[in-house]
Amino acid sequence: MIRSIFIFVLVALIAFGAVWLSDYPGDVRLTWGGIEVETSIVVIAALTLIFAVVVALFYRFWLWLKRGPGRIGAVFSNRRRERGLEALSSGMVAIAAGDAAEARRQAIEAEKTLGGEPMTLLLAAQAAELNEDDRAARIYYDRMMERKDTEFLGLRGLINRARGEGNIAEARRLAERAEELRPGTLWVQKELYELAVKARDWEAADQALSRMARGKAAKGDAVRRARAVITYERADVARAQGKTEAALTLALQAHDLDPGFVPAAVLAVTLTAKEGASRKLNKLIADCWKKAPHRDLADAIRKVVSGEQPSDWFRRARETVAPHNPDHPETHLMLARAAMASNDWGPAREHLMKAGGDAPTTGILRRLAELEEKANADAIAAREWILKSVDAPQDPLWICRACGRQEDHWQAHCPACDSFDTLSWRQPDRGPAAGAALEAEIVPEIAATEL
């Protein structure tokens, strides 16, 4: 607006000057050497104006050149940068698509054009990972570690590498450094927790889990369960070190955290029995059998009284344990085993039938066969139970959810795949091979009974 007013005033002034000059025309005479020029004052004024404009234009052009010495270079470097960014984005796309060769090509291009920028280093490291070039990946991560703005990112890569190589101690050291750099970052918390669990450093695992739960990284039943398992392991360590009192406190905590967690119930009962407080023990046994009835718990409860006769155990199981969960198949199984051990065949048969229900397992059918032989010397009835057991469902075991490994005793880590807390008590799937193996095992047995 101001500019257009200015131009308008300027044009008006020039017009006014021109009119004024034409009203008062004058002559100008120039004499230089042998040349003589005679003209009007209007022409001289116009020439002066044109000269001023030309000088002003030259002056501006000179300023433009002076202010931008790298002006021409800048045009090139901008194009270079653009090419680098393009290579970066294509490289990231190639990594997401798993195209190792393309990722490597774009990483080289990006590094050539952009140099050691954070994103370039990251792309190069990831491309190296994708190409399974361990040495190159390590070099790029190390370079990232040297810069303040990429150290955290580099740590993540190196932690993954260390884990992949099974170097848990190194991975933990790096994760602790990451925690120092950016305290409370979610993935660092998770890493610290998982690494502590892998290292069987239960105290550290407990602390990491607490921090995670505070930071809302993990909540609810999963955290309670993990805490129960970790607390159980801490109890077990204390027990092994002879710190019975601390072990009992922890075992009871673990049982409270997850009342259905059998190993914690077993340890709590075993350690309370050592303490010798019978009222407390009876209360605990009642509570545990209600919430975690299980073969292992039944064994632990039996061992509470040392040197007990089978018939005494059968009576104690029937009178003090079974009433707390009378209809559970595990209760019937416990009573059946106790009755058989004390040669009490009638109740043994009754509880075996109840424990088996509609789908008795191989183990139950074999016990029935044993019972027929021992109680009635009835080989034919025994043989029938054995034959039935061929197609029966298998007895439950501790089976790894991750790899299917079967174990007789619970452990926090699967002995085959080292997964944490994956062993659960369930029936194995009966494969075709299992039936055949059982049949092969039974044939001599049947042949023997027929003779």
- Residue 407 CB, nearest approach to Zn ion (Å): 9
Query: How near is the Cβ of 396 to Zn ion at its closest, in Å?
Result: 17
Please give the Cα distance from 268 to 247 (Å, whole number). 9
Residues whose CB is less than 8 angstroms from the CB of residue 124 and which lie 6 or more positions away in sequence, other chains included: 107, 110, 111, 136, 140
Cβ 247 to Zn ion shortest distance, Å: 27
- Binding mask 20-39 toward Zn ion (x if CB under 5 A, else -) reads --------------------
The CA-atom distances, in angstroms, between 352 and each of 60, 202, 334, 338, 367 are: 107, 41, 9, 11, 8
- Report the distance separating Cα 425 and Cα 409, nearest Å: 10
- Of the pair 123, 423, the CB lying nearest Zn ion is at 423
User: Residue for token digits 């190159």?
Assistant: 136
Looking at beta carbons only, is 232 or 398 nearer to Zn ion? 398
To the nearest whole angstrom, how small is the minimum distance from the Cβ of residue 419 to Zn ion?
5
Q: Is the dihedral of CA 177, 180, 182, 185 positive or negative?
A: positive
- Interacting stretch for Zn ion, rule CB under 5 A, among 18-26, 72-80, 247-255, 414-422? 414-422
Residue whose CB is less far from Zn ion, 115 or 404? 404
Query: In angstroms, what is the C-alpha Rg of the chain?
Result: 44
Query: What DSSP character marks residue 320?
Result: I
By CB under 5 A, residue 414 contacts Zn ion: yes
Phi-psi map region of 166: left, alpha, beta (phi>0 left; psi -120 to 50 alpha)? left
Q: Which of 335, 373, 338 is nearest to 354 (CA)?
A: 335
CB of 411 to Zn ion, least distance (A): 10
CB neighbour burial string for 375-387, b if at least 16 within 10 angstroms, e if fewer? beeebebbbebbe
Give me the residues paired with residue 425 across strands: 398
- Please identify, among the stretches 59-67, 180-188, 416-424, 427-435, the one whose residues bind Zn ion according to the rule CB under 5 A: 416-424
The encoded tokens of residue 100 equal 């190792």
Token pair of 438 as six digits: 């059982």
Q: Compute the distance between CA of residue 19 and CA of residue 448 in angstroms, rounded to an integer.
A: 141
Closest by Cα among 117, 410, 378 to 254: 410
Taking the least distance from each CB to Zn ion, the nearer of 152 and 420 is 420
CB of 386 vs Zn ion, minimal distance in Å: 32
Q: Which residue, 143 or 405, is less far from Zn ion as judged by CB? A: 405
Between 97 and 403, CB nearer to Zn ion: 403
> Between 103 and 412, whose beta carbon lies closer to Zn ion?
412
Query: Is 41 or 416 the residue whose CB approaches Zn ion more closely?
Result: 416
| Residue number with CB closer to Zn ion (145 or 400) | 400
Q: How far is the CB of 427 from Zn ion (least distance, A)?
A: 17
Residues 270-289 close enough to bind Zn ion by CB under 5 A = none
143 to 137, 162, 449: CA distances (angstroms): 10, 17, 76
Q: Which is closer to Zn ion, CB of 122 or CB of 226? A: 226
Tokens linked to 263: 């190993």
Q: Least Å distance between CB 229 and Zn ion?
A: 15
What residues from 383 to 412 belong to the interface with Zn ion (CB under 5 A)?
400, 402-403, 405
Residues 317-376 touching Zn ion, rule: CB under 5 A, are none
Stretch that binds Zn ion, among 101-109, 281-289, 373-381, 417-425 (CB under 5 A): 417-425
CB of 354 to Zn ion, least distance (A): 33
**Alpha-carbon gap, residue 87 to 334, rounded angstroms:** 69
The span from the CA of 371 to the CA of 377, in Å, is 9
Scan for tokens 């005494």, then name that residue: 312
Q: Tell me the closest approach of the beta carbon of residue 399 to Zn ion, in angstroms.
A: 9
Size of site (CB under 5 A) for Zn ion = 7
**Cα(325)–Cα(140) distance, integer angstroms:** 62
- Token reading at 218: 């993990």
- Closest Cα partner for 173 from 201, 206, 210, 132? 201
Whose Cβ is closer to Zn ion: residue 83's or residue 401's? 401
Tell which positions 238-267 bind Zn ion, by CB under 5 A: none
Find the shortest distance in angstroms from Cβ 424 to Zn ion: 11
Among the listed residues 100, 139, 387, 416, the single contact to Zn ion using CB under 5 A: 416
Q: Least distance to Zn ion from the beta carbon of 402, Å?
A: 4
| Contact pattern from residue 139 through residue 158 relative to Zn ion, giving x for each residue in contact according to CB under 5 A and a dash for the rest | --------------------
Look up tokens 């299917």; give the residue.
404
Q: State which residue, 116 or 396, has the beta carbon closest to Zn ion.
A: 396
Which residues lie near Zn ion (CB under 5 A)? 400, 402-403, 405, 414, 416-417
